[in-house]
Amino acid sequence: MTVKNGGATIGDAIKSIYRQTYAISQIVVIDDRSTDDSHAIANDLLARGTIPYHLASSESAGRGYALRQAVFQASGDWIAIIDADDVWHTRKTEIQVAAICQCNHDDIGVCGTLTRPFSNLSTIESDHAMICPVKNSFRQITARQMLYCNCLPHSSVLLRREYAHYDVSLKSQYDYELWMRLMVIQKVSALRVEIPLTLRRVHDRQHFQSGRGSFVYALRSAKHKLAYSILLKDPVAFAYNLCKPAFFVFPTICRERVRRTLRRSL
């Protein structure tokens, strides 16, 4: 986990790690030079817990460096990623490990889950949305699908440590760039559990939620997708991502209809 000024939410994220039914061997938290009480809150919770932990401040400014430092401190063969403002279902890790074991274990390098947005954790828990369906389901995610959307949300992912090489030169899309590099260049297989085991918090401090922020985010995302559309020789994906930044001038309902049509065609 990396955190920057996440004092209001990091407690929920850490508590969801402690509630996992699968035994977690280590918790690593890197504070990306927060100016609030994120570090103190994390230290208090981790010190009172029973899982070995590593809590430190980032050696360099920027989330890419914080992610790289967190990976360096991790000791396991697999790393479970969580953002400081998100929450896991109690059985998330257990179900992901079971899905990986049901497949050809050596071929799988990344395993994500579906997500569900939320803004009020008490509301989510009160309507039993945290109760997981009994039937586990998963599917393989292809690089071609990833040209249209990031099918592997960062907070949901179990990632082999040997593949966790984030590009620290980026400003954002650390996860998407890594997934595509692994799938296209290194031919690593990816899975996704088709159950919303990761709760994605929606709040005003997310820069990509604002008008200008979402446009800049779309431009950076399009850059990666255009490059991989060329590598995969997919002219439809290239055309879609070339036009995508302008896509933001259309109403949300129109954008969603186009996305659904494209996903059904894959």
Please report, for the domain that includes residue 58, its CATH number: 3.90.550.10
pLDDT at 204 over 80: no
Q: Are residues 182 and 118 in the same domain?
A: yes
Instruction: Taking residues 97-112, report their average pLDDT.
Output: 89
**pLDDT tens digit sequence for 45-100:** 999 999 999 999 988 778 899 999 999 999 999 999 999 999 999 999 999 999 99
Q: Are residues 62 and 157 in the same domain?
A: yes
Q: Phi/psi at 248 (nearest 5 deg)?
A: -75, -10
Q: Which among 201, 226, 241 is the end of a domain?
A: 201
Q: Which among 152, 185, 201 is the end of a domain?
A: 201
Q: Are residues 17 and 106 in the same domain?
A: yes
Instruction: Taking residues 125-136, report their average pLDDT.
Output: 52
Q: Which two tokens stand for residue 249?
A: 């001038």
Q: Are residues 158 and 213 in the same domain?
A: no
Q: Are residues 197 and 233 in the same domain?
A: no
pLDDT at 237 over 60: yes
Instruction: Taking residues 134-151, report their average pLDDT.
Output: 86
Instruction: Taking residues 132-137, report their average pLDDT.
Output: 60
Q: Are residues 41 and 124 in the same domain?
A: yes
pLDDT at 201 over 70: yes
Instruction: Report percent pLDDT > 90 for the chain.
Output: 62
Q: Are residues 146 and 33 in the same domain?
A: yes
Q: How far is CA 14 from CA 1, 173, 181, 227, in A?
A: 9, 23, 29, 36
Q: Are residues 146 and 77 in the same domain?
A: yes
**pLDDT tens digit sequence for 23-37:** 999 999 999 999 999
Q: Are residues 214 and 177 in the same domain?
A: no
Q: Are residues 104 and 183 in the same domain?
A: yes
For residue 179, what are the domain limits?
Answer: 2-201
Q: Are residues 222 and 187 in the same domain?
A: no
Q: Which among 201, 220, 252 is the end of a domain?
A: 201
Instruction: Give 126's pLDDT tier (boundaries 50, 70, 90).
Output: very low
Instruction: Give 240's pLDDT tier (boundaries 50, 70, 90).
Output: confident
**Torsion of Cα atoms, 143 then 145 then 147 then 152, to 10°:** -80
In the chain, the number of structural domains is 2
Q: Are residues 217 and 254 in the same domain?
A: yes
**pLDDT tens digit sequence for 160-182:** 999 999 999 888 889 999 999 99
